[in-house]
Amino acid sequence: MHRLILMRHAKTERAAASGHDRDRALTERGREDGLLMGRVLFEKGLRPDLALVSTATRTRQTWDLLQEAFGDVEVRLLPDLYNATSDVIRRFVEGAEEEAGCLLVLAHNPGVHLLAHEYLVESAASPSVLDRMAAGFPTAAAAVFEVDVAGRCAYDGYLTPKAFGGGADE
């Protein structure tokens, strides 16, 4: 793997009709931001070979919108990514290192945010980058890392819908 994209699902409804958190669906803004971020990633040459996606409704819907820009990408729906901790997400990343040149993990906060921050600390990212990441990880945001031959992740970008004319950071 030479590139890793850690991404949070797009904006969702506050509650699902079923009452189950896993069933929360995207809002209209979430659908717009999902499409936007798919285009942004694709235009920046960040098309994954493999996507690991939580099985929650909101992450599957976000993936469907991203995939419109990416086209045919191998996707694995993984129940264990639902509200996974950073350690669990890291294990999935490490397990897929040899399978893709560019890996996208689409999951939930706080796990995605915490893992992105951990990678920044491990790679001795600049204080300004650490401060930006510490400020939060909004819906549909993506942290991008270059991965060296030893598997170390180095900061390569932080993309939010707001930066490209989409929804407000939250």
The rounded percent of the chain whose pLDDT value lies above 70 is 98
Tokens of 90: 């890291």
User: Residue 19 pLDDT > 90, yes or no?
Assistant: yes
State residue 138's pLDDT score.
95
Terminal CA-to-CA distance of the chain, rounded, Å?
A: 30
The residue ranges of every structural domain in the chain are 3-13+24-164
Higher pLDDT, 143 or 167: 143
Share the mean pLDDT of the chain. 95
Q: pTM of this prediction?
A: 0.96
> What is residue 122's three-state secondary structure?
helix
CA-closest candidate to residue 106, choices 136, 67, 135, 163: 67
Report pLDDT digits (tens) over 50-84. Answer: 999 999 999 999 999 999 999 999 999 999 999 99
State residue 168's pLDDT score.
59
Rounded CA separation 89/77 (Å)? 13
State residue 103's pLDDT score.
98
User: Residue 170 pLDDT > 70, yes or no?
Assistant: no
Pick the CATH number of 3-13+24-164 from 3.20.20.30, 3.90.230.10, 3.40.50.1240, 3.40.50.300: 3.40.50.1240
Q: Assign 167 a pLDDT band (cuts: 50, 70, 90).
A: confident
Report pLDDT digits (tens) over 90-119. Answer: 999 999 999 999 999 999 999 999 999 999
Rounded CA separation 49/23 (Å)? 27
Rounded CA separation 100/31 (Å)? 27
Q: Residue ranges of the alpha helices (H) in the chain?
A: 28-43, 57-70, 86-95, 111-122, 127-134
User: Residue 22 pLDDT > 90, yes or no?
Assistant: yes
